[in-house]
Amino acid sequence: MIVFRIIQGAAAGILTPLVVTLIIRQAKGIPLGSLMGVATLPIVVVPILGPVIGGLIVGHFSWRWIFYVNVPITFLAFALAWWKLPRDGAPAEKHPFDLFGFVQLAPALALIFYGLSNATGANGFDSKDVYIPLAIGLILAACFTVYALNKRQPLIDIRPIRVRAFAASLGILFLSGLSVYGPLLLISLFYQEVQHRSTLMTGILLAPQGAGSLLPRVFTGKLVDRIGPRPVILAGLVITVLGTLPFAFATANTSEWLLGFALFVRGVGLTPVNIAVMVGAYEGVPKEELPNASSTTRIIQQVGGSFGTAVLIVILTRAALTHTVHSQAFNVAFWWSIGFVALAVVPTLILPKLAKKTAQA
């Protein structure tokens, strides 16, 4: 399993920086906020169709098809890339492959993800399967950080962190794992375990969040270009809290219409955060450092998502031991997720007040 996670992480680490760099370099003269509003549009399809398709697959086929379905999608993406992506770019400067950096970073990330995924068990973080992989992974990550700071051409150049906006955006991306991805899992479990919905119905009930994320996408990018990412993210965080709040009081009998409206509001809040934080992340980063910056954001997103999911599941498990009513344990976990959103305000205040006018060429 660890080997597969290493391969998966390596593939994502290669593809993500290539795609982001290509988008930004091809969009010469386009304001960065408007660009990110369009570039992140495919992400909206995931929370709308993803849960529904996932419910259909799990409900009618084996759970293994959740992974099998990626195979034809990957081949389709390969065909589109071969057909449509430009091939006449300037030849890139050749660098030797940093094997020593790879043998530090790849196992570090795989062990961190593996440890966090095991934290969802009954013992939480108090398990050898959790703290041993986490400890080794964090040590390797620290070793790579020191190594990368002292090597001329490391596997991933972490120097973009010296840009204030980029460093602050990394903090927001990590905390979004606690405030975005974790609650999404809690909501799915709430529908299935408390309100006893089927997997398909759960997917349908989650669709309003994706629909809500479409509403502000029309104007968020231009708004970020005009007033900067900081106020947009702050407003999005407040709306996200308002959309999560009803779940902190929900019971088995709570109206699905009320919760659906809450999810719609939550989606409205998540879109400004997602778009504005990406604008803040790449604002001020030199174009030659964009691949490294996008690799770093990808890593932080994955670690934050895994960490947020693990922490909230541990909180839910602990709350279930002290509350006889199952819905009350979920209420406690949702209150914690709301508190984690407040933590994202701190790095947001470090972001610049105004964004630059155009994307970097």
What is the total count of domains within the chain?
A: 1
pLDDT at residue 359 in the model: 45
Q: 301 lies in a domain?
A: yes
Q: 14 lies in a domain?
A: no
Q: Are 119 and 72 in contact (CB under 8 A)?
A: no
Q: 357 lies in a domain?
A: no
Q: 153 lies in a domain?
A: no
pLDDT at residue 347 in the model: 86
Give the residue among 304, 305, 309, 277 at the shortest CA–CA distance from 293: 277
pLDDT at residue 41 in the model: 62
Tally of CB atoms within 10 A around 64: 9
pLDDT at residue 358 in the model: 43
Q: 21 lies in a domain?
A: no
pLDDT at residue 170 in the model: 82
Does residue 205 sit in helix, strand or coil?
helix
Identify the CATH number of the domain in which residue 331 sits: 1.20.1250.20
Q: Given its phi and psi angles, is residue 94 left (phi above 0), alpha (psi -120 to 50 degrees) or beta?
A: beta
Range of the domain at 241: 31-85+160-348
Look-up of token digits 């549009």: 41
Q: 314 lies in a domain?
A: yes
pLDDT at residue 346 in the model: 85
Cα separation, 232 vs 235, whole angstroms: 5
Q: What is the mean pLDDT of each run of 10 residues along the chain (361 residues)?
A: 51 54 60 60 61 72 77 82 66 68 82 77 75 90 85 74 78 75 84 88 85 80 82 89 93 92 91 80 70 73 76 84 85 89 83 55 42
Going from the C-alpha of 180 to that of each of 26, 176, 188, the distances in angstroms are 30, 5, 13
pLDDT at residue 334 in the model: 92
Going from the C-alpha of 115 to that of each of 42, 112, 185, 218, the distances in angstroms are 30, 5, 18, 39
